[in-house]
Amino acid sequence: MNSTKSALTSLTDLITRFFILWIILFSAVAYFFPSVFEDLGFLIVPMLAVIMFAMGITLRIDDFRRVFLRPLEILVGVCAQYVVMPLLGFLLALAFGINPLIAVGIVLVGSCPGGTASNVITYLARGDLALSVTLTSVSTLLCPFLLPALMYIYAGRWIDVPVADLFISALQIVLLPVLFGVVLRKLLGRKSETVLPFLPSVSSLVIAFVVGIVVALNAESIRTIGAVVFLVVVIHNALGLTCGYLIAKALGFRESSARAISVEVGMQNSGLAAALSQLHFGYLSALPAALFSIWHNISGGVIASLWRNSNVHEQT
């Protein structure tokens, strides 16, 4: 029994540790052999709901109590998340003058909350993990209310934004699964801890699968305009990471907090962006989300390595 559990733990650790390799592998298969994934678009939304449920069941009440214990850091982090990234996405879409549906997808990525991968990267970067988890939790719970409004403000330049439909979808895909996970963990108590070690690997594979589906559905578009969109994604991510860090340092936050806010702002829940894109705007608008999923995990890994090898000079 113990040997089986140990083997499963090792397998899940292996899957989670090489998360970016799974994304690259699924993306490569989807790009060169799109027929493997292109009929599975209907799975994107339910898969995203599974990921959000997994996130919810990992949360504890203490993750929300920090809002009252560290209000300024939480407020700055969430405001930076929902001000910096949507505005940057809008400005980059204008500057590059790209296809309106692609522009909508870029703004949508910027309007999403932080992803759970940001917590892993913050931990590896010796950032404030507790702050990162709370920022992800709060920005996720605010998503159904802020995302439709931001899309109306910025993406309304190119399309008629279905604000009410976006709100309902965000409730169904994000808020309800997360809250269900939180409640279930509270009801199960310590029994829930038996499944917690396996959730990161499940989420990793599901995200990689979602990215594969989106890449397959946009394989032809990637060949024609993928380079330009990828460049926008790289700039968007780099500016988000930089702005998050500089804002935190300008306000005098400690180094570990600045790292957490930087990662939280720069790394988006691109899986959610892919789901909402294909649901409301078409598969082409999901292309920025797919490319962001690939790139922000690479850039996150790089900055985690750089920061991990530098001293924080404080207790974290």
Q: State the Cα–Cα distance between residues 259 and 239, nearest whole angstrom.
A: 14
Average pLDDT, the chain: 84
Task: Kindly list the domain boundaries of the chain, sorted by start residue.
Answer: 21-30+38-308
CB 136 within 8 A of CB 63: no
pLDDT given at position 47: 84
Model confidence at 259, in pLDDT bands (50, 70, 90)?
A: very high
Q: Is the pLDDT at 128 greater than 80, yes or no?
A: yes
CB atoms within 10 A of CB 127: 29
pLDDT beyond 70 at 312 = no
For residues 207-213, give the mean pLDDT: 82
Encode pLDDT of 8-28 as tens digits: 666 676 766 677 788 788 888
The pLDDT confidence band at residue 7, using thresholds 50, 70 and 90, is low
pTM: 0.86
Q: How far apart are CA 230 and CA 235, in angstroms?
A: 9
Q: Helix or strand or coil: residue 114?
A: strand
Q: pLDDT tens-digit profile of 135-155?
A: 988 998 899 999 999 999 999
Degrees to nearest 5, angle at CA 106 with 96 and 154: 90
197 forms bridges with which residues in the sheet? none
Among 108, 115, 267, which residue's Cα sits nearest to residue 206? 115
Q: CATH number of 21-30+38-308: 1.20.1530.20, 3.40.50.300, 3.50.50.60, 3.40.30.10?
A: 1.20.1530.20
| Cβ atoms 22, 15 nearer than 8 A | yes
How far apart CA 50 and CA 201 sit, in angstroms, is 13
Q: Tell me, what's the pLDDT at 315?
A: 45
- Each residue's pLDDT tens digit, 152-198: 999 999 999 999 999 999 898 888 888 888 888 888 777 777 777 77
CB-based contacts of 140, cutoff 8 Å, min separation 6: 52, 55, 113, 114, 174, 175, 178, 269
